[in-house]
Chains A and B, each alone.
Chain A
Amino acid sequence: MEFWVNQTFNGVSYAALLFLLGGGLTLIFGVMKIVNIAHGSFYLVGGYLGVALVAATGNFYLALLGAALAVAAGGVILERVFLRAVEGDDLRQMLLTMGIALFFQDACLLVWGGDPFNLRGPAYFAQSVKLGGFTFPILRLFMIAAAGVLFVVLWWFQEKTRAGAMVRAAIDNAEMTEALGINVPILKMAVFGLGAFLAGVAGVVGSAFMGIYPGLDFEILPYAFVVVIVGGMGSLSGAFVAALVLGLLDNFGKALFPEISYFTLFAPMAIVLAFRPTGLFGRA
């Protein structure tokens, strides 16, 4: 019993991180129709900025917000200055994000060096809550809460507000959306910024969870892709469900069959692709 409760809890908290990582990527893909190779860089820069801001302010939550907002601002600038310049050419836009990723890989190495960092959260992150005979680490509870709150807020925005309807319309058909007089360029910029913000949050939270080091940007990118592909490109609910399924599968896979741990994450993707090429919640 304890094994199942603990592994489920661990799986859900891992899913929370996967959602923060993949949720932003799927929004960016949905509206801009490009695969953002620089998404791992947003995570990495967010993590390093988080470490620096915790050191400077001593407040984890301030650092979380500051780092995520800085990454979001950076994303907005990148979209406006670089991606806009080759608008309408998906392949060039994707290659550009690749270039951006390589640039930040080196820039981070230059600024923060090659040693790994641990992001120190509040002291109580190291403690646990005991409930009905089971122990739940507070850091993991925080990860779940952060992802849960962000999902609910984003879902409400997308489904219940007019601006959210504009985003969905642009995901469905950007051209027709713009023909209604909706400023789609601004919408794209905002969504790119929002996606970067989520990756920044993931970077800070992830760094508190498992540290941060050079190369992590390209290490976590495939995980973000898996979430997006299984959930369906552009679907926030899809990313949420996919993250949950993958987090649980991966955790139980690692606990029960440690020798095939990589398989447990990527096999579901292959199966989903075989039967539903557009993902669980995707549209053709």
Chain B
Amino acid sequence: MLRVDDVHTYYGDSHILQGVSLEIPRAAIVGILGRNGAGKTTLVRSVMGFTPARRGRILFDEAEITRLRPYRIARLGLCVVSQGRQIFPSLDVAETLAVGARPKPDGWTVEKVYELFPPLRARAHHPAGRLSGGEQQMLAIGRSLMTNPSLLLLDEPTEGLSPLYIEAVGHVIRTLQQSGMSMLLVEQRLRFALLYADYVHIMSRGKIVHSSSPQELGRDADVRARYLGV
């Protein structure tokens, strides 16, 4: 469904992604692990079109999206839950869910998002900036679901969350996968990624340095120590 083919991305003159290739099959969760500064977020930004790749190609459902504007990429069925949640402080919860909604038959509705995340219903008319970190993460995921994506890019969705919320996010990821959604799951938490991903890549210095099943990585203490420090 998504194919990243030898992608090179720069910030100004710094060469961040140095030839990254990977594939995300339909209804699969592909995990990306790596230390800070490995290029994980840059990979997400390149796919979403925020920081377009300078070389290489990115294909989504066989269509080239490498240099499309983010809103065009989004309309093809791709959405991102960005690191740090990126909530709109000027909007309340209901407005946040409605603002980017692209309804689809049998797709996500405000009602379904509230069923998935009950705490949001009670907060419908609260400013989004006043929600707790966990509630903001629910809102960030809900906001993306309202665009009815077929591929969701999750950039460290458990960052800064309490164990209870981490479990809730994991549960949602499972639910979404069962509904046929594909996901790119960028994570710092090894255990979380191993639990939910169907396939994992480790990035280091802008390259993919290890690819395997999560079970294999779980057994390979040497790789974990070398690239993740755990």
Q: Are A179 and B48 in contact (CB under 8 A)?
A: yes
Note all chain B residues with C-beta closer than 8 A to A162: 98-99
Q: Is B17 an interface residue (CB 8 A)?
A: no
Q: Are B102 and A171 in contact (CB under 8 A)?
A: no
Point out residues on A near B: beta carbons under 8 Å: 162, 165-166, 168-169, 171-173, 175-185, 283
Q: Are B90 and A178 in contact (CB under 8 A)?
A: no
0/1 interface trace, chain B 51-85, chain A, CB 8 Å (1 if under): 00000000000000000011100110001101000
Q: Is B11 an interface residue (CB 8 A)?
A: no
Q: Is B89 an interface residue (CB 8 A)?
A: yes
Q: Is B100 an interface residue (CB 8 A)?
A: yes
A167 to chain B, nearest CB (A): 9
Taking a contact as CB atoms closer than 8 A, the residue among B70, B71, B90, B100 that contacts A172 in the complex is: B90
Contacts of B88-103 to chain A: CB distance below 8 A: 88-91, 95-96, 98-100, 102
Complex Cα distance, B140 from A173, in Å, reads 13
Chain B contact patch, size range: 20 to 34
Point out residues on B near A: beta carbons under 8 Å: 48, 50, 69-71, 74-75, 79-80, 82, 86, 88-91, 95-96, 98-100, 102, 143-144, 146-147
Note all chain A residues with C-beta closer than 8 A to B95: 165
Q: Are B89 and A179 in contact (CB under 8 A)?
A: no
Given contacts A166-B99, A185-B69, contact A176 B88 (CB under 8 A): yes
Q: Are B144 and A180 in contact (CB under 8 A)?
A: yes
Complex Cα distance, B74 from A175, in Å, reads 12
Taking a contact as CB atoms closer than 8 A, the residue among A173, A181, A283 that contacts B71 in the complex is: A181
Q: Are A173 and B75 in contact (CB under 8 A)?
A: no
Q: Which of A168, A178, A183 has the most CB of B within 10 A?
A: A178
Complex Cα distance, B82 from A245, in Å, reads 40
Q: A169-B90, A181-B100, A185-B69 are in contact. List 11 more A-B contacts (CB 8 A).
A: A162-B99, A165-B98, A168-B91, A169-B91, A169-B99, A172-B91, A175-B70, A177-B100, A179-B50, A179-B82, A181-B147
